[in-house]
């Protein structure tokens, strides 16, 4: 095979400092290949970097830079290392051949050459290079396609979550920037815990992204709460609060129904389900809907419980004014080990100034 696709000739670079050798090899190659010449290794490297050839015929004994050093530098260069190198030299000792092949050359031909064998071996290595290029391009295509599909799926998942969470936001006229703030609080807390806590192994990069993206779904179940209760400007009665508490169950059921409708994996919506169902559980077991205690409460729900309460405390509601940042800290510290995981409260205190910045930047109009 002398061409890539039937009309474009392969380029062969001949690197040799002997004029007679250059003339001989050029004559043998010129009818079938495009030939380029370099008189030493240093010059060859410069030309190769400017316009890489398809194969390199490399002498060993040359001034400025010998063939061995030239080959070594080629193989150390990521963009050039796959160009096949054939040593073409008068050095015929087995040890010399071993050096060349160990440096990464595909072949070692001693001078004087047999023209037919010489051309046959070049054709064979160019054919192998073509096959490798096709495989490499196919693998790259498949890799790019996987990345593209993964990006599409991730985007679809995020759109699905935001669309679902918007349902709750539309129903609740007190939400404002609540969803944005709680996402940002949760991200800060997760990133810190991933580095500085006993929960580090549970919070890898992918888990953090899933958790943060799921935060807006924590109150999705409110779509099932009657307006008379959800939008009531005053304190709820005992009976009304019992109905309000069912938003955790309704939220979990809504996400489970979504799973069945879109036939997505449990992995995608597992964390949203945990958060919607358990973000009102309390560390001491006094929460709802199941009265879970301690680490029986999913970590994702414990994180959202803290950031949700902080935001509720520092935001104005129809039934209460906004507490100051410092007042909110005192309340959360008071409930450490009762409402909240003590480990999370410790992290929150370290990040308190960051929470304050987010609260002020995204405060409700």
Q: Are the C-beta atoms of residues 193 and 200 closer than 8 Å to each other? A: yes
Helices 299-314 & 205-214, crossing angle to 10 degrees?
Answer: 50
pLDDT at 265: 55
Determine, yes or no, domain membership for 2: no
The C-alpha atoms of residue 300 and residue 41 are separated, in whole angstroms, by 60
- Do 107 and 36 reside in the same domain of the chain? yes
- How many domains is the chain built from? 2
Each residue's pLDDT expressed in tens, for the chain with a length of 365 residues = 465 555 578 999 999 999 999 999 999 999 999 999 999 999 999 999 999 999 999 999 998 899 999 999 999 999 899 999 999 988 889 999 999 999 999 999 999 999 999 999 999 999 998 888 888 888 887 888 887 876 766 665 666 666 666 666 666 555 558 888 999 999 999 999 999 889 999 999 999 999 998 898 898 898 889 989 988 888 899 999 999 999 999 999 988 887 777 665 557 788 999 999 999 999 999 999 999 999 999 999 999 999 999 999 999 877 788 999 999 999 999 999 999 999 999 999 999 999 999 999 998 87
- Do 137 and 275 reside in the same domain of the chain? no
Determine, yes or no, domain membership for 34: yes
**Which CATH number goes with the domain that contains 336?**
1.10.3210.10
pLDDT at 5: 52
- Do 97 and 40 reside in the same domain of the chain? yes
pLDDT at 1: 45
- Do 351 and 204 reside in the same domain of the chain? yes
- Do 132 and 208 reside in the same domain of the chain? no
Note the pLDDT tens digit of each residue in 11-33.
Answer: 999 999 999 999 999 999 999 99
- Do 268 and 228 reside in the same domain of the chain? yes
Q: Are the C-beta atoms of residues 172 and 219 closer than 8 Å to each other? A: yes
CA distances from 337 to 236, 295, 348 (A): 27, 11, 14
- Do 275 and 317 reside in the same domain of the chain? yes
The C-alpha atoms of residue 34 and residue 52 are separated, in whole angstroms, by 12
- Do 104 and 245 reside in the same domain of the chain? no
Taking the alpha carbons at both ends of the chain, their separation in whole angstroms is: 72
Domain that holds residue 207: 172-361
Determine, yes or no, domain membership for 4: no
- Do 179 and 296 reside in the same domain of the chain? yes
Helices 352-361 & 342-350, crossing angle to 10 degrees?
Answer: 70
- Do 135 and 32 reside in the same domain of the chain? yes
Determine, yes or no, domain membership for 199: yes
Determine, yes or no, domain membership for 3: no
pLDDT at 171: 60
Determine, yes or no, domain membership for 337: yes
pLDDT at 182: 94
Instruction: Give the CB-side neighbour count of residue 320, counting CA atoms within 13 A.
Output: 9
pLDDT at 234: 83
Residue 188 in tokens:
């800060």
- Do 84 and 196 reside in the same domain of the chain? no
**Which CATH number goes with the domain that contains 137?**
3.40.50.2300
Q: Are the C-beta atoms of residues 233 and 317 closer than 8 Å to each other? A: no
Q: DSSP label at 9? A: B
Determine, yes or no, domain membership for 154: no
Question: What pTM was computed for the model?
Answer: 0.60
Determine, yes or no, domain membership for 118: yes
Note the pLDDT tens digit of each residue in 277-320.
Answer: 999 999 999 999 999 999 999 999 999 999 999 999 999 877 78
Residues near 17 by Cβ (< 8 Å), separated by ≥ 6? 39, 40, 59, 62, 63
pLDDT at 163: 62
Edge-to-edge strand ranges of the sheet holding 85-89: 34-38, 11-15, 55-58, 85-89, 107-110
- Do 325 and 277 reside in the same domain of the chain? yes
């Amino acid at each position: 095979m002398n061409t890539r696709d039937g009309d474009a000739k392969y380029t062969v670079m001949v690197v040799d400092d002997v004029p007679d050798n250059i003339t001989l090899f050029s004559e043998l190659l010129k009818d079938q290949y495009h030939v380029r010449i370099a008189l030493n290794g240093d010059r060859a490297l410069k030309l190769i970097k400017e316009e890489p050839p398809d194969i390199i015929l490399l002498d060993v004994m040359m001034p400025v830079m010998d063939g061995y050093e030239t080959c070594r530098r080629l193989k150390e260069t990521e963009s050039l290392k796959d160009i096949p190198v054939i040593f073409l030299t008068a050095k015929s000792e087995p040890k010399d051949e071993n050096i060349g092949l160990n440096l990464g050359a595909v072949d070692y031909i001693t001078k004087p050459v047999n023209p037919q064998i010489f051309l046959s071996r070049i054709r064979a290595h160019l054919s192998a290079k073509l096959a490798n290029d096709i495989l490499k391009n196919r693998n790259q295509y498949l890799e790019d396609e996987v990345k593209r599909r993964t990006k599409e799926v991730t985007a679809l998942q995020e759109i699905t979550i935001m669309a679902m969470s918007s349902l709750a936001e539309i129903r609740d006229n007190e939400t404002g920037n609540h969803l944005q703030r709680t996402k940002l609080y949760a991200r800060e807390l997760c990133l810190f815990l991933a580095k500085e806590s006993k929960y580090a192994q549970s919070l890898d990069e992918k888990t953090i992204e899933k958790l943060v993206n799921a935060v807006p779904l924590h109150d999705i179940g409110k779509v099932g709460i009657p307006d008379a209760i959800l939008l009531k400007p005053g304190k709820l009665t005992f009976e009304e609060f019992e109905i309000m508490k069912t938003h955790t169950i309704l939220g979990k059921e809504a996400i489970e129904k979504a799973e069945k409708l879109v036939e997505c994996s449990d992995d995608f919506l597992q964390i949203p389900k945990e958060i919607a169902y358990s973000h009102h559980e309390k560390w001491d077991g006094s929460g709802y809907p199941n009265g879970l205690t301690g680490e029986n409460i999913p970590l994702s729900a414990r994180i959202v419980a803290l950031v949700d309460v902080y935001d509720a405390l520092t935001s104005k509601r129809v039934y209460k004014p906004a507490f100051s940042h410092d007042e909110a800290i005192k309340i959360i510290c008071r409930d450490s080990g009762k409402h909240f995981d003590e480990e999370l409260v410790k992290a929150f205190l370290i990040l308190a100034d960051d929470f304050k910045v987010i609260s002020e930047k995204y405060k409700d109009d």
